[in-house]
Amino acid sequence: MKPILIRQHEEMTPPGLLVDWLRERGIPFKVHLSWLRAAPDLTSYSFVASLGSPYGPNDTHETAVVEELKLIEAAVESELPVLGLCFGGEALSAVLGGRVERAPVPELGWREIQTDDPVAVPAGPWLEWHYERFTTPPGAVELARTADAVQAFRFGPHLGVQFHPEATVDIISHWASMDAKRLAELGIEDGTALLAASPERKAAAKAAAFRLFEAFLDGAVEDGVRESAGEKE
Over 70: is that where the pLDDT of 93 sits?
A: yes
**Long-range contact set of residues 24-29: C-beta below 8 Å, sequence gap at least 24:** 24/210, 25/217, 25/226, 26/226, 26/227, 26/228, 27/1, 27/3, 27/217, 27/224, 27/226, 27/227, 28/1, 28/2, 28/3, 28/4, 28/227, 28/228, 28/229, 28/230, 29/3, 29/4, 29/5, 29/230
Instruction: Tell me what pLDDT residue 106 has.
Output: 95
Please choose, from the candidates 78, 79, 166, the residue with its C-alpha nearest in 3D space to the C-alpha of residue 129. 166
Whole-angstrom distance, CA of residue 136 vs CA of residue 148: 13
Instruction: Tell me what pLDDT residue 233 has.
Output: 53
Over 70: is that where the pLDDT of 111 sits?
A: yes
H and E: helices and strands count for the chain: 6, 11
Over 90: is that where the pLDDT of 151 sits?
A: yes
Neighbours of 51 (CB within 10 A): 25
Range of the domain at 151: 4-232
Measured at the CA of 216, the angle between CA 111 and CA 34, to 5 degrees, comes to 80
Instruction: Tell me what pLDDT residue 158 has.
Output: 96
Please choose, from the candidates 77, 157, 194, 168, the residue with its C-alpha nearest in 3D space to the C-alpha of residue 69. 77
How many folded domains does the chain comprise?
1
Mean pLDDT, residues 140-148 taken together: 97
Whole-angstrom distance, CA of residue 174 vs CA of residue 176: 5
Q: Quick: pLDDT tens for 22-56.
A: 999 999 999 999 988 888 899 999 999 999 999 99
Q: Quick: pLDDT tens for 223-232.
A: 333 333 344 5
CATH code of residue 55? 3.40.50.880
> Higher model confidence: residue 88 or residue 224?
88
Instruction: Tell me what pLDDT residue 1 has.
Output: 83
Instruction: Tell me what pLDDT residue 36 has.
Output: 87
What is the reported pTM? Answer: 0.92
Whole-angstrom distance, CA of residue 75 vs CA of residue 193: 38
